[in-house]
Structure 1
Amino acid sequence: MHEVLADNRYPGRGVLWARTRGGLLCGGYFLTGRSAASKERFLRQEEHALSVVPTGESGHDALRHYLAARERGGWLVFGNGEQVAVVSDRLHQGNGPYQAMEGLEYEPDPPICTPRITVVADLRTEPHAWFGAARRPRGHRTGADLLTLAVRELKPGDAVLMTTYRSDGERVEAVAPLVEARTEAGDRQELLAEVWAGLSPEVRVAAAVFEPGRLADAAIVHQRSGTTQPV
């Protein structure tokens, strides 16, 4: 997985579902940024949630600041924008994962039109995960294409990753497909370290790894002024 991340110079935001070598299921979320405003963010840890918030006095920006993860009513939801709250509410109202992610749209940030990427995990049984991506199609169509895929039965060392962008360091394009990878991590902290090391230091902002059902105990790391700061 380190190589997969390192090969993508600017992945934007990413979601991860993995089983460590020690057999532990984990979810993960990370932020990268190129502009000053994108870099001035951190992951605020709450009882049953993680939120992306500004580091300073800057005002709220709906595309940069949002609920990134929530555990509620037997479900874990995490992703890169306001759709996390929407999907969580729909699940709480009795919808299944496919219905909860139905009708999602990509971000209104032309020309790149960043995909909305979301993971839903059922905490009531052995956690299964559903990945969702709403992206603008290539060509002239403007309605969102929505991919929803169930991911089950990860073996130790298996990891599934989705990022918003693919970049060679100069050109940035929106992507949606999943990437299947392998992790050498034995536990949650090692998985976080593996993700963090794979991100380019000049763009990384924050990352979190958490066990399903234990979001309040998420392992989090931030990059501030060139210094890695565990939280």
Structure 2
Amino acid sequence: MNGLNEVLADNHYPGRGVLWCRTGDGDTLGAYFLTGRSRASQARALRRTPESELIVAPSEARAHDHLRHYVAARQSGRWLVFGNGEQVATVAERLDSGLVPALALDGLDYEPDPPIFTPRLTVVADGRDAGQAWFGAARHSSGTRTATNRLTLQVSGLAPGEGVLMSTYRSDGHAVATGEPLAEVRIAAGNRSGLLEELWTSLPLQLRIAAAVFSPGGLAEADIRQAAPAQS
């Protein structure tokens, strides 16, 4: 198991990512991050709404882009839902209707952005059992098949210093490809503020947009770090 900083430092373009982990003090936390290469991607901010959601929004008012602007985290009753696209709201609504996490994550598709077909990554964390979470990934086949590959992973019993990470992309500095399905990582941070620092400093400096750390039931108190937004 490699450290979070090693895994991210080895990836020249991780895109967007979700993390579920336990810090050294025993706190179980979720995290979300954005990196971007284009001016349109970098002209975004991670904001807290009056409803205590976290949204990815344009840094300047303009028409909504459903692939770039979305609810990134929402508390839905006992469930904390976070991820990299509009599916977060869909999954939260399904949970509100009574579906269990595995079914709420079912039926999602990857993003319609050829040629890379960005995966949809979603985490559902249980506020009544702080150690338990479900990851959902909707991914394009590595071949020519267009049907969505859907991965659902239940994570529980993390020890302090353990985490699970998913990112949308993988790059060696030249080519960009869909990220690996998941990575189990070591967390060096001893507490919540340390986790945000560890995550932020592990992201590629020139591509950083925003990162947030939060706990189930505590989305209103999410810690957010962001770069000065680029002007579109």
Output aligned runs, 1:119-198, within 5 Å. 119-198=123-202
Instruction: Label 1:57 to 1:4 Cα distance change in 2 as closer, same or farther (>3 A).
Output: same
Residue 46 of structure 2 is matched in structure 1 by: 43
Residue 69 of structure 1 is matched in structure 2 by: 73
What one-letter code is carried by the residue in structure 2 that aligns with 1:103? Answer: G
Contact 1:69 1:79 in 2 (8 A): yes
Residue 91 of structure 1 is matched in structure 2 by: 95
Shift of 1:187: 1.0
What one-letter code is carried by the residue in structure 2 that aligns with 1:91? Answer: L
**3-state SS of paired residue (1:173):** strand
Q: Structure 1, residues 209-228: CA drift from partner, whole Å, max 9, x if none?
A: 011110100000001169xx
Residue 24 of structure 2 is matched in structure 1 by: 21
Residue 115 of structure 1 is matched in structure 2 by: 119
Contact 1:115 1:176 in 2 (8 A): no
Instruction: Label 1:225 to 1:116 Cα distance change in 2 as closer, same or farther (>3 A).
Output: closer
Which ranges of structure 2 fall in alignment gaps of 5 or more residues?
none
Which ranges of structure 1 fall in alignment gaps of 5 or more residues?
227-231
What one-letter code is carried by the residue in structure 2 that aligns with 1:179? Answer: A
TM-score (norm 1): 0.95
Contact 2:18 2:122 in 1 (8 A): yes
Q: Aligned-residue CA RMSD in angstroms?
A: 1.1
Q: Among the aligned pairs, what percent are the same residue?
A: 58
**3-state SS of paired residue (1:107):** coil
Moved more, 123-132 or 153-162: 123-132
Shift of 1:126: 3.4
Residue 219 of structure 2 is matched in structure 1 by: 215
Report the number of matched residues. 226
What one-letter code is carried by the residue in structure 2 that aligns with 1:92? Answer: D
**3-state SS of paired residue (2:205):** coil
Contact 1:133 1:176 in 2 (8 A): no
Shift of 1:139: 1.3
Q: CA–CA distance in 2 between the matches of 1:66 and 1:159? A: 25
**3-state SS of paired residue (1:84):** helix
Instruction: Label 1:223 to 1:134 Cα distance change in 2 as closer, same or farther (>3 A).
Output: same
What one-letter code is carried by the residue in structure 2 that aligns with 1:208? Answer: A
Contact 1:44 1:52 in 2 (8 A): yes
For residue 83 of structure 2, the aligned residue among 79, 84, 96 is 79
Contact 1:127 1:212 in 2 (8 A): no
Where has structure 1 moved over 2 Å in runs of 4 or more? Answer: 124-127
Contact 1:136 1:144 in 2 (8 A): yes
Contact 2:136 2:152 in 1 (8 A): yes
Q: CA–CA distance in 2 between the matches of 1:126 and 1:38? A: 33
Shift of 1:176: 4.3
What one-letter code is carried by the residue in structure 2 that aligns with 1:141? Answer: R
Q: CA–CA distance in 2 between the matches of 1:138 and 1:155? A: 33
